[in-house]
Amino acid sequence: MELLSDQLSNWLSQINNDFNVNLNYRPAASQMSSSELAVALSTQLLNDRLSVNGSVDMKSNATVANSDKIVGDFDLDYKLNKKGEYPITGI
């Protein structure tokens, strides 16, 4: 399954050179565990001075009823000068 996820990620990233796409699917190992799909997207903007990165993880068949099934993360990095000596990182 990992090989298929890697090939699909590679194919999606080739559609547009400005974006990197990463997919990762992990099937449930047993009835007590859950399957998980992770999607990550990243790009560079403003002459590569602004980096945008985001990811979303989704779980199905979670064993704990009150657990979050969708979790996301997002961050921005901006380089104040062209050399990147003074980066600013934000959420």
Exposure pattern of 7-28 as b/e (b: 16+ CB <10 Å)?
A: eebeebbeeeeeeebbbbeeee
**What is residue 52's predicted lDDT score, i.e. its pLDDT?**
92
Compute the average pLDDT of residues 41-63.
84
pLDDT value at 66 more than 60? no
Closest CA to 71 of 51, 57, 60: 57
**Rounded distance between C-alpha atoms, residue 36 and residue 33, angstroms:** 10
**What is residue 64's predicted lDDT score, i.e. its pLDDT?**
53
Output DSSP code: residue 31.
Answer: T
Question: Which residue in this structure is represented by tokens 């993360």?
Answer: 73
Q: How confident is the model at residue 29 (pLDDT cuts 50, 70, 90)?
A: low
pTM assigned to the model: 0.65
